[in-house]
Chains A and B, each alone.
Chain A
Amino acid sequence: MSLFREVTKGLWKENPVFVMVLGMCPTLAVTTNAIYGFSMAAATTFVLISSSLVVSVFKRLIPNQVRIATYTVIIATFVTVAHYFLKANFPPISKALGPYVPLIVVNCIILGRAEAFASKNTVIRSLADAVGMGLGFMLALVALGAMRELFAYGEIFGYTVIPNWHPWAIMVLPAGAFISLGLLVALFHVISKKVKK
């Protein structure tokens, strides 16, 4: 039960984007459509799970004074793996995500989970936590990507949802990203309040 809760808390109660406001750079930058949002979240989840595992396995061996530097090197290693994997297997997506794949290194969600959770908990619990946080991040990115794609092109995941939609250019521009996420965060607060009642 508690393992299950470890997974679900990342999805809603401690959602990394909507509640903890972490990892905003990739969230805003790559979500011009749902597919990019999904790919970015998948890459981040891979790095998050792998680095959480490594950190929690080696937590006793890492000296306290240099732990942040060690975590960063572990994360950077997995990011390099993810970057070359995307580049080799999905070149168009790798090109579209551009510098935001290497920037996963400084995604505060990953370092945050390594420091706040994986360094203090067992391997299994860290794995559950990382999966949950990754899914929560994915939820946020796909929601934002789908919303922007819908208003920009009338499509979701490339499928036409509203035929003959007049494109809103603003939604693919930076301003649209900020405003959409602001609206989503507000919506998230409204729903969580309703659920609590």
Chain B
Amino acid sequence: MNLILIFIAAAITNNFVLTYFLGICPFIGVSNKLESAFGMGMATTFVMTLAATVTWLINNYLLIPFKIEFLEYVAFILTIASLVQLVEMFIRKVSPELYRALGIYLPLITTNCAILGLTLFVVMRKYELIEAIVFGFGAGVGFTLALVLMAGIREELEFADVPEPFRGTGITLIIAGLLALAFMGFGGLIGS
């Protein structure tokens, strides 16, 4: 039950993009086409789940026993960067088609603050390993959800007559605001 709660909280009520403002860069940058938004979401979900697992292990078996928690950020960002590199090599070897589809988005994931944010949340909330994995997966699903929703709206927006100063970033941010407002409606799902 607790795991389901963690999943729903990470994916919907405390959506990373719409309530913690994590991963805004890809959210604005890659959300103009539905297809690429979905690909980016999938790749990010994959890296998030892996990153949550690996950084949990590093934190609990390396940083805490040796009392070097101050190296947390350096260790985590290096882990994420090497994970992304590994995933890239793995996908290229196993499925060249998927690699071509995701191609440019993969390296970008390193600087996606949602991933580092996720690993920091795992440490701050003192999750167990299983909880951390579910949390990482849920956060990824929530990220994909927000990205796909946004891409759907932006595809429609191309036919709309937007006032000139709002074109591009302005209107995207305002739509994101409305989306965040809508997601607040889910707040009651879980008592805080």
User: How far, in angstroms, from A171 to B29 measured CA to CA in the complex?
Assistant: 24
B173–chain A nearest beta-carbon distance, Å: 3
Nearest B residue to A80, CB-CB: B73
Q: Is the pair A106, B113 in contact by a Cβ cutoff of 8 Å?
A: yes
Q: Is the pair A174, B19 in contact by a Cβ cutoff of 8 Å?
A: yes
User: How far, in angstroms, from A80 to B69 measured CA to CA in the complex?
Assistant: 11
Q: What residues of chain B lie closer than 8 Å to A76, measured between beta carbons?
A: 73-74, 77
Q: Mark A158-197, 1 if CB is under 8 A from B, else 0.
A: 0000000000001001111111011101110110010000
Q: Is the pair A175, B180 in contact by a Cβ cutoff of 8 Å?
A: yes
Q: Is the pair B170, A25 in contact by a Cβ cutoff of 8 Å?
A: no
Q: Is the pair A28, B121 in contact by a Cβ cutoff of 8 Å?
A: no
Q: Mark B108-122, 1 if CB is under 8 A from A, else 0.
A: 001111011100110
B92–chain A nearest beta-carbon distance, Å: 17
Q: Is the pair B180, A111 in contact by a Cβ cutoff of 8 Å?
A: no
Nearest B residue to A103, CB-CB: B113
Q: What residues of chain A lie closer than 8 Å to B165, measured between beta carbons?
A: 186-187, 189-190, 193
User: How far, in angstroms, from A72 to B23 measured CA to CA in the complex?
Assistant: 18
Q: What residues of chain A lie closer than 8 Å to B169, measured between beta carbons?
A: 21, 182, 185
Q: Is the pair B170, A24 in contact by a Cβ cutoff of 8 Å?
A: no
Q: Is the pair B170, A182 in contact by a Cβ cutoff of 8 Å?
A: yes
Q: What residues of chain A lie closer than 8 Å to B20, measured between beta carbons?
A: 29
Contact with A174, one of B21, B81, B112, B116 (Cβ below 8 angstroms): B21
Q: Mark B21-45, 1 if CB is under 8 A from A, else 0.
A: 1111100110000000000000000
Q: Is the pair B73, A105 in contact by a Cβ cutoff of 8 Å?
A: yes
